[in-house]
Amino acid sequence: MRSIQKIAYSVLAATVLLGAAGCENMSKRDKSMAIGAGAGAVGGAVLTGGSALGTVGGAAVGGVIGNEVGKDKK
């Protein structure tokens, strides 16, 4: 059982590293939107007990908020 857990953590770490490398050329606004969507998805899943609708809804709301936060101030 421990070896499966180690493999899962290794796959998760590799996914995070590859995902972070993909964000290299993103604008500040794009990064804010992606972070907001991720945080919103986690929040929606926690608040609704893992409901798919809550997760997707949280991601959508978080993405919109992140998009607004990442706008250039003029």
Number of compact structural domains in the chain: 1
User: Which pLDDT score is estimated for 14?
Assistant: 79
| 2-36 residue pLDDT tens | 777 777 778 878 777 777 677 778 888 888 888 88
In a domain, 42, yes or no: yes
Q: Is residue 51 part of a domain?
A: yes
Please report the sign of the dihedral spanned by the C-alpha atoms of residue 29, residue 31, residue 35, residue 41.
positive
Instruction: Please report whether residue 74 resides in a domain.
Output: no
Single pTM value for the model: 0.66
Residue span of the structural domain in which 28 resides: 2-69
Residue 13 resides in a domain: yes
* Beta-carbon count within 10 A of 35 CB: 17
CA–CA separation, 20 and 17 (whole Å): 5
